[in-house]
Structure 1
């Protein structure tokens, strides 16, 4: 496993409906789910994407839904693939995930274990892309792609008390066979968007992931008006979806977790006012907090 590593400068985020479906917190994803999506030119056809989740693998319950942290790992691997890297280490994934690609930081033990677990989870989940309807328009009878969300082989070496795991990525199925083909990849953000001034815990990385994608969806584009999507983030919905403050729970620990998450959110948003996107404009220009006790929503301005 030898390759000249190339640091990524821009994120490559899959924005298609099928990839988004993978990370929805739904009981339906505990077994199999499928979605019919618009295929663009042949808009009357359906492309069906099915996700099969094994019940139990290696004493780990893979039937649980994928998390925002898993999505950050997948986004980071896809970003590294776009930068022409096929061999990546856990430390390189970690540095890009936290927006410090040029640093020499090592992933803390707990974080390295979380990244490794996410990689294995993405490997275990099988995706089938049935593009037969669309293929018939080109004179084909059938077109089906089947494989893991991520396909790779790994090598772990331990020497002198130091453990290093590297992955040789063969394929990122939805990203390379689907998102890119449909031109549904967002490359407007620099990798440094992840270098937020808070502790890089798995929980905070999930918070960053949620906020990043919500704001990207709000941001005006050449084909979308700002008023088309609400520019307010519902705090209760956000904290419930992330499992930080489940809806209806009002214990002391939940109140503390809510307060801590809101403080982190403000620090993230303050930092993002300094991030310049590829269009030359700030990721956000400002924000406005609505409500005090409790905070109801956060309005994002561009």
Structure 2
């Protein structure tokens, strides 16, 4: 008998270096090698990423995006509250911060989520923790598997279709990030319920801002490492592909203006979000520059 689905209250966002490197744009993701510092002398984990032959119908050698990371974050969040079977609609509701609603993912969004899930499934990660394991008397310790491993079932009837995933493993999350205690659960799920259209590009913008601000934000027990509390607008828009650096076309100017308007709506909403330390996610923000806007300073 299947367990009852549980909605999540807080996000489970991994902050380890290996996962972060997966989502760094790279022309040759297949050759990516990640050396992970374990904090011990001469003890490091090696993470490699192997991809299927790029002659397949879908070229999975394209880089993972912020949207893919948001899908993975959402699945990890659902796993954290013991959900192993999840539907696309449940992923969508948690992604947009409305876990209790009955909203269904629009067709284009459902297709984007499905593609992200399949992309996470086909990318194989190997974690070689042998050097660290030797400190505990072991000769070898290697984990190999998909970033996200699952079985899926799609059922169609009466013109309606439902896809459900039985999650077998989220390799880095369950075998690495949690073991290293590099999971941030300070942000409530409602942080995703921003008053904007929940398009893939806007979700990528939310994902980018969320992680940048979490990296800046002081924790309850200690201060973060010295990091600028300013978000460089040109870098942000270039990384997200909204306004590639150097492009000055009319369409790029329009895209930049719309994105900045969306950013302000997101940040205004986040002033109302209370984290687990009982403080607002951000207290305020300050825009530097006018035409063009150069940076956005985040205050806590």
CA distance in 1, matches of 2:26, 2:172: 20
CA distance in 2, matches of 1:135, 1:39: 11
How far off its partner does 1:58 sit? 4.7
Pick aligned residue for 1:140 from 132, 138, 141 = 138
Paired position in structure 1 for 2:35:
36
Conservation of the 8 A alpha-carbon contact between 2:195 and 2:266:
yes
CA distance in 1, matches of 2:290, 2:53: 44
CA distance in 1, matches of 2:174, 2:160: 33
Conservation of the 8 A alpha-carbon contact between 1:10 and 1:188:
yes
1:23 maps onto 2:23 in alignment: yes
CA distance in 1, matches of 2:223, 2:181: 20
CA distance in 2, matches of 1:66, 1:53: 12
Write out per-residue CA displacement over residues 252-287 of structure 1, whole angstroms, 9 at most, x where no aligned residue. 100000000000000000000000000000000000
CA distance in 1, matches of 2:221, 2:36: 19
SS at match of 1:35: strand
How far off its partner does 1:57 sit? 6.7
Pick aligned residue for 2:77 from 76, 79, 96 = 79
Taking a change above 3 Å as real, the CA distance of residues 59 and 111 of structure 1, as seen in their structure-2 partners, is same
Paired position in structure 1 for 2:175:
177
Matches within 5 A, 1:267-286: 267-286=265-284
Paired position in structure 2 for 1:266:
264
Taking a change above 3 Å as real, the CA distance of residues 130 and 207 of structure 1, as seen in their structure-2 partners, is same
How far off its partner does 1:36 sit? 1.5
Conservation of the 8 A alpha-carbon contact between 1:153 and 1:167:
yes
1:7 maps onto 2:7 in alignment: yes
SS at match of 2:136: coil
Structure 1 outlier segments of 4+, above 6 Å: none
Aligned residues: 300
Conservation of the 8 A alpha-carbon contact between 2:42 and 2:131:
no
Paired position in structure 2 for 1:111:
109
Paired position in structure 1 for 2:252:
254
Structure 1, unmatched stretches of 5+, are none
Conservation of the 8 A alpha-carbon contact between 1:12 and 1:187:
yes
CA distance in 1, matches of 2:113, 2:14: 19
SS at match of 1:137: helix
1:242 maps onto 2:243 in alignment: no
Conservation of the 8 A alpha-carbon contact between 2:215 and 2:224:
no
Conservation of the 8 A alpha-carbon contact between 1:32 and 1:53:
no
Taking a change above 3 Å as real, the CA distance of residues 159 and 80 of structure 1, as seen in their structure-2 partners, is same
Taking a change above 3 Å as real, the CA distance of residues 299 and 119 of structure 1, as seen in their structure-2 partners, is same
Matches within 5 A, 1:222-237: 222=220, 224-225=222-223, 228-237=226-235
Conservation of the 8 A alpha-carbon contact between 2:271 and 2:284:
yes
SS at match of 1:165: strand
Taking a change above 3 Å as real, the CA distance of residues 140 and 74 of structure 1, as seen in their structure-2 partners, is same
Q: Which moved more, 1:216-225 or 1:105-114?
A: 216-225
